[in-house]
Amino acid sequence: MGKNKKYSGYRAYQYLEAGVDYKPFKLAKGIGRVEAYWVPLSKVEEERAEGLLEKCVVVSMHDHPVLFPEDMSQLVEYQREGREFLAYEDLSRSCLDAVFDNMMDGTAYITSKAGWKWGDVIYDLGMRLCDLAHQDFVIKCEKVEDVLEAHRTGRIALIPSLESATPIENEVDRIDILYGLGVRMMGIVYSESNALGSGLREPRDGGLTDFGYDCVKRMNKIGMAIDVSHAGDQTALDTIEASDKPIMISHAGARALNGTARMFPDEVLTALAERDGVIGIEAAPHTTYTRNHPEHSIESYMEHMEYCIELMGIDHVGAGPDTLYGDHVALHGVWFGQTGRGHYPRPRTREGVVEPRRVEYVRGLENPSECLINITRWLVKHGYSDQEIEKLIGGNALRLLRRVWWR
C-alpha cells in the first residue's frame, strides 16, 4: 500500500487527559525535526520507486517507532513513566507495512537504574498494547497474515519485540508468557552477558549457555523469532547452530568495513546465511559507517548492505534501521553517559577500528518514516531489479517469518 495509509488522526493515549492521567513531556518533532534528504532520482526512476513501494510488502526488521522528549536530558524521567508515545502520524507518512517495535526495555527505569526488569517489561508492553487497543490504524501483529492484511488495507503491523532475553532471568516458561502477550521476536542478549550467553561488550565470549540452549529450543517450539544482534561472536554462532529454524541479526552490519565489535565478522554472517537466516542492516548513528565513508550516511549504509549481499547472497539481507523519532545522537549521549549506575569503564583494544566522523544525524536515514523509502530509492538508482528490491525491503524478512512463526 506504500504511502497511501488509512490513518484517521489518532494520537497516542488520546483517551487520557495529559497532566491528570499522566505526566506530559514536550515531545520531539518526528518528520521535519531535521531537513529531509531524498536520494535524487529521475522522473522515470521516481515512478518506479513509488510503484515498488506500493506493490511490495515493506518490513523494518528493527526500529523504535516512538516519539522521544524534545529535551533528551529528560530521557530517564520520561522512561520512568513507562508510557512511550507511538508516532502514529509520522508512521502514516512512511511506506512501512510492518515494523518490529523493539520497545526500549534497556531503559525501562520504572523500578531500577539498569533496565530489563521483568515487571518493568510487562508494564511497558501492557501500556503499548492498551494504546493500540484504542485505535484501528496500527495492527498488533501476531502472525504473517497480519502483515499481509496491513499491506492490503493501508495499515501498519506492529510486532512487539525485545532486544534481550535478560528479563526472563532463569525462567524458560517466561518465554511462553511473553509470547502470550504478543512478543514475536526476542534477542538472546543485549551487549552485557546474561544467563543465556555472552554479549558483544565482553572481553571473552563464553558462547551460548546450557540455559540459553534450552531457551533457543523453547523459542523454536512456540514460534518466536530469535535475534542475536547484540551477542558476542561465539554466542551468535552457537545460537545459529542450536536453532532448528533460521534466526535473524535484526540490526547490524559487516565488521570488515569498520572493525567495530558492534558489527559481525564474515564467519558469523556466512553461518547465518547457510542456515537461511537474514541480517537487517542498521542505521543508528555512528554504526554502519565505513573506511570509504567515515561520515555515516545513506552511502555508508548501502556499502554495508552491498557487502552483505555479495558475501551472503541477496536472499539473506534486509533492513533493520534501528531509528526513532527524536535526537538519536543525544539519546546515546544521555544513555551511555549516565552516572550512578555502578559501571566502571574498562580498557578496551581498539586495534583496526575505524573512528567515524561525528554527525548530528544520519542524513537520509534519520527516522523510521524515511529509511525504507530512501533505501528503495538508492536501490532503484543503482540498477537493482524489481525482484531484488522486493527481497531486500521486506521479502526476505517475510520468508523467514513464514518459516519461524507457527502460523
326-365 tens-digit pLDDT: 999 999 998 877 666 677 777 777 778 999 999 999 999 9
Taking alpha carbons only, the member of 2, 5, 137, 23 closest to residue 79 is 23
Q: What is the mean pLDDT of residues 144-168?
A: 97
Instruction: Among 45-49, 148-152, 181-185, 347-351, name the one with the lowest average pLDDT.
Output: 347-351
- pLDDT averaged over every residue in the chain: 96
Give the position of cell 565489535.
261
Q: Cβ-count burial of 36 within 10 angstroms (0-12 exposed, 13-18 middle, 19+ buried)? A: middle
In this predicted structure, what is the pLDDT of residue 300?
A: 98
In this predicted structure, what is the pLDDT of residue 399?
A: 98
In this predicted structure, what is the pLDDT of residue 340?
A: 64
Q: Is the per-residue pLDDT at 236 higher than 90?
A: yes
Q: What is the mean pLDDT of residues 1-6?
A: 80
In this predicted structure, what is the pLDDT of residue 37?
A: 96
DSSP per-residue letters across 152-194? HHT-EEEEEEES-SGGGTT-THHHHHHHHTT--EEES-BSB--
Contact 212, 188 (CB under 8 A): yes
* pLDDT tier, 271 (very low <50, low <70, confident <90, very high otherwise): very high
Q: What is the CATH number of domain 43-338+352-404?
A: 3.20.20.140
Contact 9, 91 (CB under 8 A): no
Residues 6+ apart with CB under 8 A from 70: 25, 26, 27, 28, 29, 326
* pLDDT tier, 400 (very low <50, low <70, confident <90, very high otherwise): very high
Q: Is the per-residue pLDDT at 251 higher than 80?
A: yes
Q: What is the mean pLDDT of residues 289-302?
A: 98
In percent, the amount of the chain with pLDDT more than 70 equals 99
Q: Is the per-residue pLDDT at 371 higher than 70?
A: yes
CA-to-CA dists, residue 34 to 96, 97, 283, 320, 333, angstroms:
20, 24, 16, 21, 18
Q: What angle do CA 57, 58, 60 make, to 5 degrees?
A: 140
In this predicted structure, what is the pLDDT of residue 339?
A: 61
Q: What is the mean pLDDT of residues 248-252?
A: 98
In this predicted structure, what is the pLDDT of residue 1?
A: 64
Residues 6+ apart with CB under 8 A from 257: 263, 288, 290, 291, 292, 303, 304, 307, 354
In this predicted structure, what is the pLDDT of residue 407?
A: 76
* pLDDT tier, 114 (very low <50, low <70, confident <90, very high otherwise): confident
